[in-house]
Amino acid sequence: MTPVIDRIFRSFITQGRLDIVFSDGSRRTYVGTPGPVAAMRILAPSVERRLIANPGLAFGEAYMDGLVEPVGCTLYDLLDLLMTNSMNAGHIGEAVAAVIRYGKRTWTQFNPAWRSRRNVAHHYDLNGALYDLFLDSDRQYSCAYFPRGDETLEEAQVAKKRHIAAKLRLDRPDLEVLDIGSGWGGMALTLAREYGARVTGITLSEEQLAVSRRRAMEEGLADRVRFELVDYRDVTRRFDRIVSVGMFEHVGVGHYRQFFDLVRTILAPDGVMLLHSIGRNDGPGSTNPWIDRYIFPGGYSPALSETFAAIETAGLWVTDCEILRLHYAQTIAHWRERFAANRHRVAALYDERFCRMFEFYLAGAELSFRVQGHLNFQLQITRSIDAVPLTRDYMFEVEREAAAPPGRRGLARKARTSG
């Protein structure tokens, strides 16, 4: 242990208690105000040097390589302590690195079509069996919705789709819907099967495209749902409705105006869009360098201020905004539990280093919502001031109807329309 790394940790730990066994066998305890408690062992001097200058990248890489180990606690416990303290700006090396990252973000989030395809392939074209091991049966890889708080993952993902569908105001059959970033097809298939929409889903993932098309055929919905390998910038046809779930995080701040200008062009004059995205509560920032390198290259969780500015410039209306605070934390907690239960299967698909990478990703992602101000937002967007009713009551009515037992849905619909 060097005096420099000792001073770094003494300045950094302002909440909770961290015990460290350094690579030379020396032990130190760092204590702040009451908070989380954890301990770790560092197994190489090179890790200590790298933790001084760029801890946001170095710590994750060291864990992947087995050079940092939690001691007497879980990885989640250790990250809880470290991520809580990272909000207090006590690490000078990280503070400098964050300024540099922010200055470079125009480049790191420069996502023309060719780069977007490469970034998407990095994460979404992994072995499809991986996602079956921790996602729900519909492979919804985005924030679920927990209206009660005690739903199963499957129930919460169904509730999420109903929540979004209600905001799309699918008030008549055969509406033409564009699903930007359609994933494995679950949202598009739901809108066609349960709401009578005709849906075009677009993705840049060849793996997701193949699965989506197969699902549409198996469910007998190929005449109502089609999936294409298309960049959103290449869409020219007009749609009655647009939905985008978990894709806006991959657009890049330099492309927001382009994205919403396109929405205005392809959305019908009386059309409705629902945008569902991860966001941040603390204003514009930059992406953690470990996440950018290993999980979502080119990705970024936007501040609402950045998003609203681009929407306003495009001449669109935000007719509804909802902030989902801890829903994604609960979602990822389910994913972590399922991943842990199937870890041996993941190791058979990949290797131990991949397992450690994914564990680090899931634990850090959950904690970003619990202690670092991340959130999900849903924006209902229109071109026209009167495209949706004056109040939000219709959303709740449609959502309750969709959640009713099959035999009562017609009664609920009749009561709603007769009123």
Write down the mean pLDDT value for the chain: 92
- Partners of 318 in beta bridges: 381
Taking the alpha carbons of 267, 269, 272, 276 in that order, is the dihedral positive or negative? positive
Domain 3-90 has what CATH class? Answer: alpha beta
Buried b (16+ CB within 10 A) or exposed e, 107-135: ebbebeeeebbebbebbbebeeebbebbb
Structure confidence by residue, pLDDT tens digits, 348-381: 999 999 999 999 999 999 999 999 999 999 999 9
Residues of the chain with CATH 3.30.1050: 3-90
Give the pLDDT of residue 175.
Answer: 98
Task: Kindly tell me if the per-residue pLDDT of 51 is higher than 70.
Answer: yes
Q: What is the pLDDT of residue 93?
A: 63
Is it the case that residue 114 has pLDDT exceeding 90? no
Q: What is the pLDDT of residue 9?
A: 93
The Cβ of residue 87 has, within 10 Å, a number of other Cβ atoms equal to: 13
Q: What is the pLDDT of residues 282-336, one digit of tens each?
A: 999 988 899 999 998 889 999 999 999 999 999 999 999 999 999 999 999 999 9
Domain spanning 113-388: which superfamily? Vaccinia Virus protein VP39 (3.40.50.150)
Is residue 28 within 8 A of residue 22, CB to CB? The reply is: yes
Average pLDDT over residues 136-147: 97
Q: Where in the chain is the domain with CATH 3.40.50.150?
A: 113-388
Which residue, among 379, 376, 377, has the nearest Cα to 316 in the 3D structure?
379
Give me the sign of the Cα torsion angle 49, 55, 61, 62.
positive
Buried b / exposed e across 210-247, counting CB within 10 Å, b at 16+? ebbbebbeeeebeebbbbeebbbeebeeebbbbbbbbb
Mean pLDDT to the nearest integer, 197-214: 96
Question: Which of 193, 308, 178, 326 shows the shortest CA–CA distance to 244?
Answer: 178
Q: Residue 291, SS3? A: helix
Tokens of 83: 């991520």
**Spatial distance between the Cα atoms of 146 and 328, rounded to a whole number of angstroms:** 9
**Sequence-ordered strand ranges (E) for 81-229:** 176-180, 198-203, 225-229
C-beta of residue 164 within 8 angstroms of C-beta of residue 242: no
Tell me: the pLDDT tens digits for 210-257?
A: 999 999 999 999 999 999 999 999 999 999 999 999 999 999 999 999
User: What is residue 2's predicted lDDT score, i.e. its pLDDT?
Assistant: 81
The one-letter amino acid at 195: Y
Q: Give the separation between CA 22 and CA 1, rounded to whole angstroms.
A: 6
How far apart are the C-alpha atoms of 19 and 41, rounded to whole Å? 9
Contacts of 249 (CB under 8 A, 6+ apart): 277, 278, 296, 299, 300, 301, 302
Return d(Cα 97, Cα 365) in angstroms, integer: 20
* pTM summary value: 0.92
